[in-house]
Amino acid sequence: MEQVMMTQISHGVVKLRSLKNLGLRLVLDDFGTGYASLTYLKRFPIDLIKIDRSFIAEIHAEDARLVEGILSLSHGLVGLKVIAEGVEMPAQAISLKRLGCDYVQGFY
């Protein structure tokens, strides 16, 4: 099963690289939920990741440490820019800026 999945991922990487070669920028959406894996950050030719809004809603609580970890990993290990989704309040935007988030997206 794992070998089949890795083959499918390899095919996906080839397709993503051809899109990238056409000049498209690739964004990994809803990072931190569902099937988004840390492996994707390393293997996929993406330009940005979007942190899922579920982590931003409670940015002042324990989620701040998790967001900080995602930012550190994205910036430090793989050199990706990060967008935080679901920013609706000034306090969220301030916290994200303090943590080093590159962009925010939402109704704020």
Burial tier of 70 (Cβ tally within 10 Å: 0-12, 13-18, 19+): buried
Question: Left (φ > 0), alpha (ψ -120 to 50) or beta: where does 82 sit?
Answer: beta
pLDDT of residue 17: 94
Q: Pick the closest to residue 97 from 61, 59, 63, 66 (CA basis).
A: 59
Task: Order across the sheet with 103-104: list the strands.
Answer: 27-31, 48-51, 81-84, 103-104
pLDDT of residue 2: 44
Cα separation, 45 vs 84, in Å, equals 20
How wide is the angle at C-alpha 24 spanned by C-alphas 9 and 3, nearest 5°?
5
Class of domain 2-104: alpha beta
Per-residue pLDDT of the chain (108 residues; tens, 9 = 90+): 445 455 787 888 999 999 999 999 999 888 888 766 677 777 889 999 999 998 898 777 677 888 999 999 899 877 899 999 999 999 999 999 999 999 999 987
- Domain residue spans in the chain? 2-104
The whole-model pTM stands at 0.80
pLDDT of residue 88: 94
